[in-house]
Homo-oligomer: A and B are copies of this chain.
């Protein structure tokens, strides 16, 4: 992990491109807004997902803003965060196979790691490895409340797994986790609320079923950026995982309805002006993903279309214009932060148009 300091103080417009930027005042406002909705208004814990951030710097900022811990998607990311001093980490995913389970158990000496499970054979392997090492791994049952990806069904199937886990050495059953992702794009808002309520009822009723069968349920975890402002207020939820919203990208804001500001941008340079309506720049799919939402150029009036190829961005204007010209910069709002950040080796923190810090992204590529 190399911290670059040579560029601190450089005006943004002097940076080479393509570069990944985060505007600090906007980021601060998004963090404040999420933390006050979740912690103050809803009164639940915040365990923000850091899978879109890839840097411990941002994770520590969220802890400073009141988060109780963080969420990771992969063991490799959790290792990066634990080695940067973060103690309370939920891996909201299954950790499978002897190599990864050995790493998971080793990581428990550096942090309190909680992992999601939905298969008793996997739990047994984790428990056995942990018991051999003399540690205990906390586990949450992933419950499928309608997304239909991983997870056991709510009610009896979850209770059955809870009972099996309770009989295992080396693991401690700590609660339930879900991701109500099937509600993300439901409209109108009343219908979205109804779908979320129905989904989270399944989760909290399962928690109650487990409790009434003698299991302790400390954690009932859910909520992404596209749902947290509804899910956080659902009775029986103990914590919210929404984290990517700190970047407030186009997907979160316009597709999923999150009321957050655009903080993450990609700075690019115009490399060609073949005609008066066509602007070609140096940021394509390898600098900003377009799989989930197309990035939007800032401050260019009359944009007809934006298209990305691997290495080029192409902006077509409604009317002829001379600006921006070859060599000028164009800044794009990230379409989807999660698949954009992983394309870069560093993130430039910008305040008042000047580089405040350059952060490495050591979680990038840690997909194992």
Q: Using a CB–CB distance below 8 Å, which chain A residues touch chain B?
A: 16-19, 51-52, 73-74, 93-97, 99-100, 118-119, 121-122, 142, 144, 148-153, 181, 269-274, 278, 280, 282-283, 285-287, 289-291, 309-312, 314, 326-327, 338-339, 342-345, 365, 367-368
Known: A150-B271, A152-B274, A343-B365. 6 other contacts (CB 8 A): A51-B311, A73-B310, A93-B312, A94-B280, A94-B326, A153-B274
Q: Which residues of B contact A96 (CB under 8 A)?
A: 269-271, 282, 326-327
User: Do residues B342 and A367 form an inter-chain contact, with CB atoms below 8 A?
Assistant: no
Complex Cα gap A286–B118 (Å): 23
Report A361 CB to chain B, min CB distance, Å.
10
In the docked arrangement, what's the CA distance between A316 and B329, Å?
A: 44
Task: Please list 18 pairs of residues, one from A and one from B, whose beta carbons are closer than 8 Å in the complex, sorted by A's number.
Answer: A17-B368, A18-B368, A52-B310, A73-B311, A94-B272, A96-B326, A118-B274, A119-B272, A122-B327, A149-B274, A150-B274, A152-B274, A282-B367, A285-B291, A286-B339, A311-B367, A342-B343, A345-B365
| Interface class of chain A by DSSP | loop
With A121-B326, A326-B122 as known contacts, state yes or no: A93 contacts B368, CB within 8 Å. Answer: no
Q: In the assembly, what is the distance between CA of A272 and CA of B118, in Å?
A: 7
**Closest residue of B by beta carbon distance from A314:** B149
Question: Across the interface, which residues of B come within 8 angstroms of A151, CB to CB?
Answer: 272, 274
A74-B271 in contact given A16-B97, A327-B96, A368-B17 (Cβ < 8 Å): no
Also in contact, A338 and B310, with CB within 8 A (given A119-B273, A152-B274, A269-B96): yes
Question: Can you tell how many copies of this chain the complex includes?
Answer: 2
The smallest C-beta distance from A1 to any residue of chain B, in angstroms, reads 14
Central interface residue in A17, A19, A282, A342, by most chain B CB within 10 Å: A282
Docked Cα-Cα span, A52 to B309, in Å, equals: 13
Residues of chain B within 8 A of A97, CB atoms compared: 16-17, 269, 327
CA distance A19 to B100 in the complex (A): 14
A18, A144, A151, A310, most chain B CB atoms within 10 A: A310
A280: nearest chain-B partner, CB-CB? B150
Q: Which residue of the partner chain, among B144, B310, B365, contacts A339 with CB atoms under 8 Å?
A: B310
Smallest beta-carbon distance A326→chain B, Å: 5
Docked complex Cα distance between A238 and B17 (Å) = 32
A152 nearest CB across to chain B (Å): 7
Contacts of A94 in B (CB 8 A): 271-272, 280, 326
Query: Once the chains bind, are B119 and A326 in contact (CB under 8 Å)?
Result: yes
CB <8 Å contact, B272 and A51? no
Least Cβ distance of A13 to chain B in Å? 11
Q: Which residue of B lies closest to A345 (CB)?
A: B365
Query: In the bound complex, do residue B273 and residue A93 qualify as a contact, i.e. CB atoms below 8 Å apart?
Result: no
The interface residues of chain B lying within 8 Å CB-to-CB of A121 are 326-327
Residues of B within 8 A of A99 (CB): 16
A151 to chain B, nearest CB (A): 6
| CB-based closest 10 A-B pairs | A150-B272, A94-B271, A73-B311, A291-B291, A150-B280, A96-B271, A345-B365, A287-B367, A16-B99, A119-B326
